[in-house]
Homo-oligomer: A and B are copies of this chain.
């Protein structure tokens, strides 16, 4: 029995580790996608686009493992909830990969120009940093189950929302002179970063709930 429990525990730890791996993969992706976007770097954009297939594959494989663990170990209560939650977190993380991929596709589409005009470079660089930071933090939250850190993610998301409002503010200001095509790009890009952070928040909230049995207060 002790042995079975320990194999099971190892399997659960393996699932956690794979989720952390996914957070690192999507952190790298959004970092590179942002660089590709600002510097109109086609090679880097292509790299993110290709890499997304690996994220999808990794997530798919993780999900199969989780379902297999449920089938073999027939966990109940807490363990079952942890495994179901892992399935949901992997879906959030996969989606974050998709959104980095979307950013890279806009970069590729507008190459050799940057889809982001100079006056918004700082804002988008900042959105990229916040996105990367939030994804890394969520990795630590999964690893350590630190609920205080999980709550911090909500604040990072506020920072992203405020940057997002900055973008919309620039587009709707009377001095905006980059035309509608650019406004469409920037609206979508703003949305991608915002959704990226939303999914990170969702992962952090799921960990918070698993640990405390309560919804996070934010």
Contacts and interface: CB of A to CB of B under 8 A. Distances in A.
A183 interface: yes
Contact of A184 (B71, B88, B168): B168
A171 B180 CA distance: 7
A66 B67 CA distance: 14
A81 interface: yes
Contacts of A74: 74
Number of copies of chain A assembled together: 2
Contacts of A184: 168, 171-172, 183, 187
A2 interface: no
A181 B172 contact: yes
A120 interface: no
Contacts of A87: 84, 87-88
Interface string A68-95: 0011001011001100100110010000
Contacts of A188: 187, 191
Nearest to A168: B184
A176 interface: yes
Contact of A67 (B67, B80, B180, B181): B80
Nearest to A84: B67
Contacts of A88: 87, 91
Interface of A: 67, 70-71, 74, 76-77, 80-81, 84, 87-88, 91, 168, 171-172, 176, 180-181, 183-184, 187-188, 191
Given A88-B91, A168-B184, 9 more contacts: A67-B81, A71-B76, A74-B74, A84-B87, A91-B91, A171-B180, A172-B184, A183-B183, A184-B187
